[in-house]
């Protein structure tokens, strides 16, 4: 096959594909699918699941396999060519997706299949059809022609503005740096961060150190730099990325935010919703935006006293009022003083490769699987790896790529994404494959990357998502793995997995001092465990601030008098935050989760799912966290079912009841047991 992107018979051919392949591949596959769909609808007068839904699922699965390497590579490679290829192809994908979801003939055919499905049809078939019918409506299939066309235009514009938003954040991050020539300014900064900054300076033929705006560097400065002015410089750069107050105002996202909010609201109105938040709730576990706002405010109310006490104790400890760029630094100092625990001390026991091996041992113990690196699979960068996952019989059930070290040009943060969804329909089979991406400190000259415990928690979180993707037993792609799962429940497996990073038995396997080979000492773990709830109230309010800002911004939008994002942020902070933020803070301008990702009117999902996760983990604590029956029940009722089952029913099948918020408040030390 001349275009390697179109080869979906195997894993992506990363050694061969290049940006020039993208547009021709997308044009060809869309043309093929249009022709297939026309034939399918013309020659299928009495469609059933096998004759209609299966071919459509296979087409969408194929398109996903072609597009996934493109979206992935433009995120992890600092390549203008890949970004441009992505931007050229995105409108075609958006148009095709809207065209499919607004196809009246296809919607009627699906409705017919839904009516004809036997009462004993399997849950996954019924869910796939029900989800599709819901999505037809949400895409405006019922609208008059003029409104349909407008909806299609909106989707195109939204895709472009959202891509622009993300690229502005990336460009603003990549193009900022701070040259430091005096070692006094860097007192307290960990050696690993200093070494990296020195290497970055040397690459630019500069003396001293060059601080760049990636998360490992930012985190190291905010936690450890004694120089308060240096912390404020990094805070200012981080909090003004992609804004009018950043050093590169040409990448200002102000207009993108205005246009994205307006377009979302218009789209929601077109299909019968009062606002975009209510539109978003149509695919969520929560009933309504009012329900969610009540949930967030209850958590805030029950957490406020703890947060106030934490801030008071921190300020007393520091002997001064604290600004946002002081909190992380003094919290770290407070933990050291009160619990004798230091992130830098802990870091010496967490080489990235050791943590990964221990994490794999945990998965094996819980779910009776094995994971093994495969060096024969082509990857996109020397840091990337590929792993296969096998069941207890030794059969391969999926695989995943990792790319865990920070580098310039790579999107900040940590995430997983699908490479291939599980598919087992009509004699055609594909095993699930995913991408797991983090931004941990790069390997040093000795081949080491030492992680903080926060990094360990992040890795466990993303691996929880990956297990959700890999362990599914559903063969219909649209409801397998993480697909079809309500957005406010999709974080359940990831946040559940974080809890194991606070177990000594687990960390004993995930730790090894590079010099001595000794695992994390028990006394250090005990201090770490005691420090878990330090700052938990402030952290809770920070997440609630983000969730409330996102929800209110979309729920209260008025097209004739839109409230500016910064004004809404001020209102929410007045209600929730314990901190005074500087006027220049432009948090919304780099809030990619809601303006470029899938969390619009859904950022609350982190807290919503954290309630589920804490309550679920409590079931393990009640019988022992490695209890095989509980683990297998969690796998069977939560991880394996994908979007094929109502999540409330699935959770009750695992837990025996609905979740409550009490387990989360106890876990955070906000409410006593």
| CB burial of residue 48 (10 Å; 0-12, 13-18, 19+) | middle
Containing H/E element for 404?
Answer: strand 396-405
Q: Given the structure tokens 């931004």, which residue do they identify?
A: 439
What is the C-alpha to C-alpha distance for residues 389 and 369, in angstroms, rounded to an integer? 7
Structure tokens at 199: 């290497």
DSSP-assigned letter for residue 15: T
Structure tokens at 535: 């700052």
Q: Given the structure tokens 């590929």, which residue do they identify?
A: 386
- Contact (CB, 8 A) for 32 and 400: no
What is the C-alpha to C-alpha distance for residues 147 and 117, in angstroms, rounded to an integer? 32
Q: Which candidate in 310, 332, 418, 462 is catalytic?
A: 462
Residue 409 main-chain phi, psi, to 5 deg: 90, -15
**Which of 85, 84, 40, 32 lies closest to 63 in space, CA to CA?**
32
What is the C-alpha to C-alpha distance for residues 90 and 102, in angstroms, rounded to an integer? 18
Distance of CA 446 to the CA centre of its chain: 31
Q: Is 44 helix (H, G, I), strand (E, B) or coil?
A: coil
Q: Given the structure tokens 């900054």, which residue do they identify?
A: 197
What is the C-alpha to C-alpha distance for residues 439 and 616, in angstroms, rounded to an integer? 28
What is the C-alpha to C-alpha distance for residues 452 and 344, in angstroms, rounded to an integer? 7
The three-state DSSP-derived secondary structure of 121-182 is: CCHHHHHHHHHHHHHHHHCCCCCCHHHHHHHHHHHHHHHHHHHHHHHHHHHHHHCCEEEECC
What is the C-alpha to C-alpha distance for residues 211 and 202, in angstroms, rounded to an integer? 12
**Which of 383, 450, 320, 375 lies closest to 76 in space, CA to CA?**
383
Does 345 participate in catalysis according to the annotation? no
- Contact (CB, 8 A) for 336 and 314: no
Residue 363 main-chain phi, psi, to 5 deg: -60, -40
- Measure Cα distances from 147 to 138, 153, 207, 376, 558 in Å: 13, 10, 60, 51, 20
Produce one character per residue of 448-486: b if its CB has 16 or more CB atoms within 10 Å, e if not.
ebbbbbebbbbbbbbbbbbbbbbbbbbbbbbbbbbbbbb
- Contact (CB, 8 A) for 224 and 189: yes
- Contact (CB, 8 A) for 417 and 465: no
Q: For the chain, give me the number of helices (H) and strands (E)? A: 26, 9
What is the C-alpha to C-alpha distance for residues 551 and 543, in angstroms, rounded to an integer? 12
**Opening angle at CA 285, ends 284 and 290, nearest 5:** 80
* β pairing state of 209-212 and 177-180: antiparallel
What is the C-alpha to C-alpha distance for residues 164 and 180, in angstroms, rounded to an integer? 31
- The residues annotated with a catalytic role in the active site are 462
């Amino acid at each position: 096959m001349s275009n390697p992107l179109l080869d979906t018979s195997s894993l992506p051919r990363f050694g061969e594909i290049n940006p020039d392949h993208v547009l021709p591949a997308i044009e060809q596959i869309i043309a093929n699918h249009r022709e297939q769909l026309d034939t399918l609808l013309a020659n299928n007068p009495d469609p059933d699941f096998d004759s209609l839904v299966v071919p459509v699922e296979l087409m969408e699965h194929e398109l996903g396999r072609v597009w996934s390497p493109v979206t992935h590579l433009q995120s992890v490679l600092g390549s203008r060519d890949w970004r441009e290829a992505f931007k050229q192809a995105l409108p075609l994908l958006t148009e095709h997706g809207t065209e499919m979801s607004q196809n009246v003939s296809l919607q009627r055919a699906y409705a017919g299949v839904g009516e004809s499905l036997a009462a004993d049809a399997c849950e996954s078939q019924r869910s796939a059809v029900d989800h599709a019918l819901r999505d037809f409506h949400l895409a405006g299939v019922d609208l008059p022609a003029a409104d349909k066309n407008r909806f299609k235009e909106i989707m195109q514009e939204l895709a472009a503005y959202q891509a622009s938003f993300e690229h502005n954040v990336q460009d603003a991050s990549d193009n900022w740096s701070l040259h430091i020539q005096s070692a006094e300014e860097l007192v307290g900064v960990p050696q690993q961060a200093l070494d990296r900054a020195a290497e970055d300076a040397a690459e630019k033929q500069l003396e001293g150190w060059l601080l760049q705006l990636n998360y490992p560097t930012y985190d190291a400065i905010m936690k450890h730099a004694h120089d308060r002015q240096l912390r404020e410089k990094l805070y200012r750069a981080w909090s003004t990325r992609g804004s009018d107050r950043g050093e590169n105002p040409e990448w200002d996202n102000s207009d993108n935010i205005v246009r994205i909010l307006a377009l979302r609201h218009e789209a929601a109105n077109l299909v019968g919703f009062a606002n975009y938040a209510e539109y978003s709730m149509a695919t969520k576990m929560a009933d309504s935006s009012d329900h969610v706002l009540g949930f967030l405010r209850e958590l805030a109310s029950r957490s406020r006293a703890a947060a106030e006490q934490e801030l008071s104790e921190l300020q007393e400890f520091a002997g001064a009022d604290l600004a946002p760029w002081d909190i992380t630094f003094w919290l770290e100092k407070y933990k050291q003083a009160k619990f004798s625990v230091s992130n830098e001390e802990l870091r010496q026991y967490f080489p990235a490769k050791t943590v990964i091996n221990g994490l794999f041992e945990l998965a094996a113990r819980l779910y009776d699987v094995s994971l093994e690196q495969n060096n024969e699979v082509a990857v996109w960068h020397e840091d990337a790896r590929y792993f296969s996952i096998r069941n207890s019989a030794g059969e391969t059930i999926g695989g995943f790529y990792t790319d865990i070290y920070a580098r310039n040009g790579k999107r900040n943060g940590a995430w997983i994404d699908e490479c291939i969804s599980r598919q087992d329909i009509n004699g055609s089979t594909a095993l699930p494959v995913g991408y797991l991406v983090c931004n941990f400190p790069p390997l040093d000259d000795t081949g080491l990357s030492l992680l903080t415990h926060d990094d360990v928690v992040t890795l466990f979180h993303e691996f929880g998502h990956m297990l959700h993707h890999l362990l599914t037993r559903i063969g219909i792609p649209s409801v397998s793995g993480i697909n079809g799962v309500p957005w406010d429940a999709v974080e359940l497996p990831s946040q559940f997995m974080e809890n194991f990073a606070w177990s000594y038995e687990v960390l004993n396997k995930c730790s090894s001092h590079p010099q001595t080979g000794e695992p994390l000492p028990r006394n250090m773990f005990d201090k770490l465990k005691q420090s878990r709830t330090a700052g938990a109230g402030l952290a809770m309010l920070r997440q609630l601030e983000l969730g409330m800002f996102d929800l209110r911004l979309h729920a209260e939008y008025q097209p004739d008098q839109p409230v500016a994002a910064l004004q809404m942020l001020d209102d929410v902070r007045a209600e929730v935050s314990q901190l005074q933020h500087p006027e220049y803070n432009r948090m919304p301008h780099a809030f990619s989760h809601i303006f470029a990702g899938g969390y619009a009117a859904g950022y609350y999902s982190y807290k919503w799912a954290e309630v589920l996760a804490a309550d679920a983990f409590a079931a393990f604590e009640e019988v022992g966290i490695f209890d095989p029956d509980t683990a297998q029940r969690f796998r069977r009722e939560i991880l394996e079912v994908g979007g094929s089952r109502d999540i409330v029913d699935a959770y009750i099948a695992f837990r025996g009841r609905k979740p409550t918020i009490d387990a989360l408040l106890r876990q955070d030390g906000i409410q006593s047991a």
